[in-house]
Amino acid sequence: MKDLNISLLLDFYGDLLTPSSREYMTLYYNEDLSLAEIAEDAGITRQGVRDSIKRSEEALLNYEEKLGLALRFSKMQSDVEEIQKMLHDLKGKIPEHSEEMEKIIQKAKIILSHQE
């Protein structure tokens, strides 16, 4: 079973992998190709693709353990969404500042859209 967290880690740290490893990971996790399909396209064995993917997964997990960028990203995204919700709730309680709060909510939407 594929770990979807690896796809997120690939977004953060994929450039640190070799070009072939990054390609196999992208095809496997993002394009949902099978090991056999990737092996056929690459002209190597299925086992060779599997080994490369397993090494790459370990490398990505190691990068995340040391750097924590994906975890920080997820936390920041969650915090911005929470701030957005709090402002939306507050906007109804303090109508005289609703215009300012709406601007902040829109700015939060822009921040979230840049993260995806």
Tens of pLDDT, residues 53-108: 999 999 999 999 999 999 998 898 898 889 888 888 888 788 787 888 888 888 88
Tell me the pLDDT tens digit for each residue of 8-45: 999 999 999 999 999 999 999 999 999 999 999 999 99
State the Cα–Cα distance between residues 92 and 36, nearest whole angstrom: 56
Q: Dihedrals φ, ψ of 111, to 5°?
A: -60, -45
Four-way CATH pick for 4-67: 3.40.50.150, 3.30.70.870, 1.10.10.10, 3.40.50.920: 1.10.10.10
Domain ranges within the chain, ordered by starting residue: 4-67, 71-115
